[in-house]
Amino acid sequence: MAFPDDDLQRIRREARFRTTRAIERKEGAWVWIDGRRLLNFSSNDYLGLSAHPRVIAAAAEAARRFGAGSPSARLLSGNLALHDELERALAALKGEEAALLFGSGYLANVGALDAVAGHGDLLLSDALNHASLVDGCRLSRARTCVYPHADLGALEALLRQAPRSDSAGGGRVWIVSDTLFSMDGDRAPLPELLTLAQRHGARLLLDDAHATGVFGERGGGLTDAPGVRGQADLVVSTLSKAFGVYGGFVAGKRAFIDFLRNRARTFIFSTALPPPTVAAALEAVRVAATEPERRARVLGLAAAACAGLRARGVEVLGEGSPILAVVVGDERRALDLSHRLFENGLFIPAIRPPTVPPGTSRLRISLSAAHEPEQVETLVQIVAATVANPDNGGEQV
C-alpha cells in the first residue's frame, strides 16, 4: 500500500484518525449534529460573545460599510482605521504600549517567534506549549530546548547553561510559555518565569490565548495580574476564544511591535483581517470589559462542574479555569467515552495525540457563560455515569 493510504491505515490503527463533525444549527449552548440536539461542552467561546447582539450588529455594520473581506495586506491597502482602533484597544486591555493584529493566534505565534529568534539564539519552551508555539520555535531555526511542564528547576538549569548573550557566541535567550494550558486548564508560574528571565537576562514570550477575556478585572487575562502586567517582552493572544470572533494579536513595547510590523512574515505577507471580524472583535473587547458578570458566570459554572464531578468520584484537572480535563489515557477509551456522551446528548470530543502526549488522551470539557446551571448539572450527571460505567451510558438530555 502506498502513501498516503499506508499512513492513513496506521493513523486509524492507533485510533488517532480525525474527522470533522458538521454543526447544522446553534442556539445558546445547544448545537444540532446529524439532526440531534446536543449540549456543547467543547467551545472556547468562554464568555458567550460570539452570539452577542452588539457583536453581531458591529460585524453587520462593518460589512455594509467596508465589505465582507479585505482587499490586501495591512501594509498595502488593507488597513482600516478600525484595525488601528482594535490594536489600541488590545494594547490598553493588556497594559502594553502597542499591539499588532495577525490573521489568527496561530499566525501570531509563528510570526512573532520567527521574527524575534534565529540562528544562534536559544528558545526554552514548556513541554505542554500549544502547537503554534512549537511551530514558531521550529520555523525560527533557533536552538530549542523543551523543559518539563512548569518545571522551574529544569528551566533554571537550562538558563544557567546558556551562553550569556553578551559573551562570544551567545545569542538571545527566550522563555516561551502558555499562561493557561489549553488541554489541562492549569497555569504557568508567571511571577517565577519573570524572575528567572530577569535573573538570567532572558526575554519572555507568553501566550495568553485561553486566559484573555476570562481573567482580570476588565478581561486582560492572566498577564493582567499585579506584578505581571506589562512585564513580559511579548504577549500573544487570540480573538477567537473568549472574544468569540477570529484573529490573533501580539502586544508589547512599541519598539517590539514596530519590529514585528517590519519582520513578522505572517503579518506582512497575509491579507488583513476582514472588516466585519475587526469590528466584531472591537465590540467584543468592549462588552467583555464592561460585563464582568460574564467572567464570574463562566468561572462559577466551571467550579460547580469541577466540584460536582469530583464529588462523584471523577478525577478532574483544570480547577479555577473554564477548561476541565478528564484524563483517561488510551485513545480508544477516550473515543468510546466521547461517542457514549454523544449518544446521551453531550458534545465533548475526545482529545488524543498529537494534541496531548501519548497515554494522556482525555475528555476536554469547556464551560461558557452561555451555559445554564441546570445544563452543568446535566453534564455532571451524564459524565460521571459514563466514566464510571462506559458500557451502559448515562441519562438522556
Ligand X SMILES: Cc1ncc(COP(=O)(O)O)c(C=O)c1O
Q: To the nearest whole angstrom, how small is the minimum distance from the Cβ of residue 372 to ligand X?
A: 26
83 in active site: no
- Give the CB-nearest residue to ligand X: 105
> Helices marked H in 344-372 — which ranges?
none
The stretch near ligand X (CB under 6 A) out of 102-110, 266-274, 299-307, 340-348 is 102-110
Q: Sheet harboring 143-147: ordered strands across?
A: 98-102, 248-252, 234-238, 203-207, 173-178, 122-126, 143-147
Which position among 43, 182, 321, 366 bears the catalytic label? 182
Q: To the nearest whole angstrom, how small is the minimum distance from the Cβ of residue 283 to ligand X?
A: 18
Q: To the nearest whole angstrom, how small is the minimum distance from the Cβ of residue 314 to ligand X?
A: 24
- How far apart CA 320 and CA 326 sit, in angstroms, is 15
For 122, residues 6+ apart whose C-beta sits below 8 A from its C-beta are 142, 143, 144, 145, 162, 171, 172, 173, 174
Q: Among 87, 96, 126, 178, indicate the residue that binds ligand X (CB under 6 A).
A: 178
Counting DSSP H helices and E strands in the chain, the numbers are: 13, 14
Q: What is the DSSP letter of 73?
A: B
Q: To the nearest whole angstrom, how small is the minimum distance from the Cβ of residue 21 to ligand X?
A: 17
- CA-closest candidate to residue 286, choices 51, 84, 48, 90: 90
Q: Among 111, 248, 275, 394, indicate the residue that binds ligand X (CB under 6 A).
A: 248
**Of the two residues 101 and 387, which places its CB atom closer to ligand X in the complex?**
101
**Of the two residues 280 and 314, which places its CB atom closer to ligand X in the complex?**
280
Q: Among 55, 74, 101, 106, indicate the residue that binds ligand X (CB under 6 A).
A: 106
Q: To the nearest whole angstrom, how small is the minimum distance from the Cβ of residue 360 to ligand X?
A: 16
* 8 A C-beta contact, residue 175 and residue 183: no
Give yes or no for residue 240 binding ligand X (CB under 6 A). Answer: yes
165 in active site: no
* 8 A C-beta contact, residue 196 and residue 165: no
241 in active site: yes
Q: Which residues between 130 and 169 bind ligand X (CB under 6 A)?
A: 130, 132
Which position among 210, 270, 338, 368 bears the catalytic label? 210
For 33, residues 6+ apart whose C-beta sits below 8 A from its C-beta are 21, 22, 23, 24, 342, 347
Q: Which residues between 182 and 211 bind ligand X (CB under 6 A)?
A: 182, 207, 209-210
The stretch near ligand X (CB under 6 A) out of 101-109, 225-233, 273-281, 384-392 is 101-109
Q: To the nearest whole angstrom, how small is the minimum distance from the Cβ of residue 129 to ligand X?
A: 8
Q: Among 105, 216, 219, 308, indicate the residue that binds ligand X (CB under 6 A).
A: 105
Which position among 241, 366, 368, 371 bears the catalytic label? 241
> Helices marked H in the chain — which ranges?
5-13, 53-66, 81-94, 105-116, 131-140, 152-161, 190-200, 254-263, 265-268, 275-290, 292-311, 331-343, 373-388
**Of the two residues 273 and 301, which places its CB atom closer to ligand X in the complex?**
273
Q: Among 40, 238, 338, 375, indicate the residue that binds ligand X (CB under 6 A).
A: 238
Give yes or no for residue 50 binding ligand X (CB under 6 A). Answer: no
**Of the two residues 242 and 385, which places its CB atom closer to ligand X in the complex?**
242
Q: To the nearest whole angstrom, how small is the minimum distance from the Cβ of residue 239 to ligand X?
A: 7
- What is the distance between the terminal CA atoms of the chain, rounded to a whole angstrom? 44
**What is the b/e burial string over 223-255, where b = at least 16 CB atoms within 10 angstroms of the residue's CB?**
bbbeebbebbbbbbbbbbbbbbbbbbbbbbeee
For 286, residues 6+ apart whose C-beta sits below 8 A from its C-beta are 54, 89
Q: To the nearest whole angstrom, how small is the minimum distance from the Cβ of residue 163 to ligand X?
A: 29
* 8 A C-beta contact, residue 367 and residue 304: no
Give yes or no for residue 366 binding ligand X (CB under 6 A). Answer: no
Beta carbons within 10 angstroms of residue 8's beta carbon: 12
Number of residues that bind ligand X (CB under 6 A): 14
Sites of contact with ligand X (CB under 6 A): 104-106, 109, 130, 132, 178, 182, 207, 209-210, 238, 240, 248
User: What are the residue numbers of the active site?
Assistant: 182, 210, 241
